[in-house]
Amino acid sequence: MSLKPPTPLSDGRSASQPHVVHLETGRFVYGGARQVLYLTEHLPALGVRSTLVCAKGGEMAGRARAAGTEVIELATLGDVDVSIVWRFAALLRRLKPDLVHIHSRRGADVWGGLGAKLAGVPAVMSRRNDNREKRLALWLKYPLYRHVVAVAQGIKDVLVSQGVPGSDITVVHSAIDPAHFQHPRSRTELAATFDVDPTQPILGIAAQLIERKGHALLFEALQMLATRHPTAQLIVFGRGALSASLPALAARHGLQHRVRFAGFRADLERWIGSLDVLVHPAYTEGLANVCLQAAAAGVPCIGSRVGGIPEAVADGITGVLVPVGDAAALAAAIDRLLSDAPLRQRLGAAGPAHVESDFTPPIMAAGNRAVYRRLLGR
């Protein structure tokens, strides 16, 4: 595509510096929103000016401003707020960016793309999950975008299988900040905080309490191991739609005295490194950043062979992969790691280097910048 004439910037920065507007309408800084913060924080060092458009009154605005990002808050009624199309288009006409990068989903990925189309600004979309989309969604959404950034190869594979051209998709892995996970609290503090025995094996699962994350499958696997590992304990980090029902399910599996429900913890980075093993038996998944967090903390991970998990967990190097939905295989993997301390140590020791190889914020920002440059001809 041809570039439009450069426009003067009011803040004194070079007019040749590409300007990208990012749209993220999520109110809280969960996984995807955290990636947007990493991106907007690191792009300026790569010569890209970023403006973040986010939900008015949400957590994102304050966090982004604190990092020095230009922020514009947009009032929104949620995922079904179609009026975003015209208000976002008007905002883009005023800002005159070179490119729009849509990070939101569940409605705003369509509304934002339509707004960019109305304003005549080329748009890129990030895709962070590996679920298959309905034909109508594919027909409506993807023609709005010049390119798709998939955060895992597994996500790209799903899109290609549904008819999105592979040449229109670039894989740029999501990132974590490894330093946040390399100074965990002591095992004694972990035990005191979550009422577990520090002398016995401690497993963890850190995910939304929703069906696709596989909590029920993990309970079934632990029940299978009741004889071989009767003292193994599990800490369940997270909240979600199953918050009320999962404790009763654990009890039905005879695990009521060995499972602790910790709820959502904003300080998860303090605790993940004190676990023996992290388990992530998801049925569908994007990249599974929690597996990368465990790796950065030196903790081996057992994950399902689905979506981007095989990229986050290097099988036999930083953890173990098992077939999706296979409780017996999951139980066997847990048994293997709990029975072999040297293996746990070897897998955990390889984790930090795996994360540093391709999953840090500067690498992620450089990958997105390369996409921008190709689209803008720079």
pLDDT of 43-83, one tens digit each? 999 999 999 999 898 888 889 999 999 999 998 877 778 88
d(CA 373, CA 378): 5
Q: Does the pLDDT of residue 11 top 50, yes or no?
A: no
pLDDT of 72-121, one tens digit each? 999 887 777 888 899 999 999 999 999 999 997 767 889 999 999 999 99
Please, are residues 60 and 33 in contact by the beta-carbon 8 Å criterion?
A: yes
Q: Give pLDDT, residue 26.
A: 79
- Considering the domain architecture, whether residues 258 and 330 belong to the same structural domain is answered as yes
Q: Give the pLDDT mean for 282-298.
A: 95
Q: Give pLDDT, residue 88.
A: 95
Residue 3 included in any domain: no
Q: Does the pLDDT of residue 363 top 70, yes or no?
A: yes
User: Which of 353, 194, 342 has its CA nearest to residue 275?
Assistant: 194
The enclosing domain of 278 has a CATH number of: 3.40.50.2000
- Considering the domain architecture, whether residues 301 and 278 belong to the same structural domain is answered as yes
Residue 124 included in any domain: yes
- Considering the domain architecture, whether residues 75 and 126 belong to the same structural domain is answered as yes
Q: What residues make up the domain containing 228?
A: 178-358
Q: Does the pLDDT of residue 3 top 70, yes or no?
A: no
Residue 1 included in any domain: no
Residue 366 included in any domain: yes
d(CA 115, CA 175): 28
Q: Which amino acid is at 207?
A: A
- Considering the domain architecture, whether residues 145 and 283 belong to the same structural domain is answered as no
Q: Give pLDDT, residue 9.
A: 37
Q: Give pLDDT, residue 378.
A: 63
- Considering the domain architecture, whether residues 338 and 191 belong to the same structural domain is answered as yes
Long-range contacts of 213-218 (CB under 8 A, 24+ apart): 213/238, 213/280, 213/281, 213/282, 213/283, 214/280, 214/281, 214/282, 214/283, 214/304, 214/325, 215/242, 215/246, 215/249, 216/246, 216/249, 217/281, 217/325, 217/327, 217/330, 218/279, 218/281, 218/330
Query: What are the tokens at 212?
Result: 């696709």
d(CA 101, CA 160): 21
d(CA 370, CA 378): 9
d(CA 185, CA 347): 20
pLDDT mean across residues, the chain:
92
- Considering the domain architecture, whether residues 52 and 123 belong to the same structural domain is answered as yes
- Considering the domain architecture, whether residues 154 and 296 belong to the same structural domain is answered as no
For 125, list phi and psi in degrees, rounded to 5: -125, 140
Q: Give pLDDT, residue 140.
A: 85
* DSSP, residue by residue, 286-302: SS-HHHHHHHHTT--EE
The enclosing H or E element of 372 equals: helix 361-376
* In the chain, % of residues over pLDDT 90: 80
DSSP for residue 29: -
pLDDT of 262-281, one tens digit each? 999 989 999 999 999 999 99
Query: What are the tokens at 344?
Result: 């746990």
- Considering the domain architecture, whether residues 24 and 151 belong to the same structural domain is answered as yes
d(CA 205, CA 236): 5
* In the chain, % of residues over pLDDT 70: 96
pLDDT of 169-212, one tens digit each? 999 999 999 999 999 999 999 999 999 999 999 999 999 999 99
Name the domain count of the chain: 2
Residue 315 included in any domain: yes
The Cα diameter of the chain in Å comes to 71
Q: Give pLDDT, residue 55.
A: 87
pLDDT of 301-333, one tens digit each? 999 999 999 999 999 999 999 999 999 999 999
